Amino acid sequence: MIIDYLANQKHFIPEIADLIFNQWSDLFLADSIGKDQLLSILEVRANTERLPITLVAVLDGELLGTGSIKLEEPGTKIGLSPWLAGIYVKEPYRARGVGAQIVRTLEATARDLGVHTMYLSVGSAVGFYVQLGWSVMEERIDSFGVKEVTLMSKRLSVAP
Residue 102, classed as helix, strand or coil, is helix
Which residue number, 95 or 159, has a Cβ lying nearer to ligand COA?
95
**Residue 23, interface with ligand COA (CB under 6 A)?**
yes
Q: What's the closest the beta carbon of residue 99 comes to ligand COA, in angstroms?
A: 2
- Give me the residues paired with residue 122 across strands: 150
How far is residue 36's CA from residue 14's CA, in Å, rounded to a whole number?
9
E-assigned strand segments in 61-158: 62-70, 83-89, 117-122, 135-143, 147-155
Helix axis angle, 35-44 relative to 13-23, nearest 10°? Answer: 120
Of residues 38-67, those binding ligand COA (CB under 6 A): none
Residue nearest to ligand COA (CB): 99
Please report which helix (H) or strand (E) contains residue 21, including its range: helix 13-23
Mark residues 85-124: x for contact with ligand COA by CB under 6 A, - for none. Answer: --xxx----xxxxxxx---------------------x-x
Q: How many CA atoms lie within 13 A of 35 on its CB side?
A: 11
**7 makes contact with ligand COA (CB under 6 A):** no
- Quote the CA–CA distance of 124 and 30 in Å, as a whole number: 19
Sign of the torsion angle spanned by Cα atoms 98, 43, 31, 35: negative
Q: Can residue 151 be called a binding residue for ligand COA (CB under 6 A)?
A: no
Q: Shortest Cβ distance from residue 43 to ligand COA (Å)? A: 21
| Count of residues that bind ligand COA according to CB under 6 A | 17
**CB under 6 A: which stretch of 31-39, 70-78, 82-90, 152-160 binds ligand COA?**
82-90
Q: How far is the CB of 20 from ligand COA (least distance, A)?
A: 8
Residues forming contacts to ligand COA in the complex (CB under 6 A) are 23, 87-89, 94-100, 122, 124-125, 127-128, 131
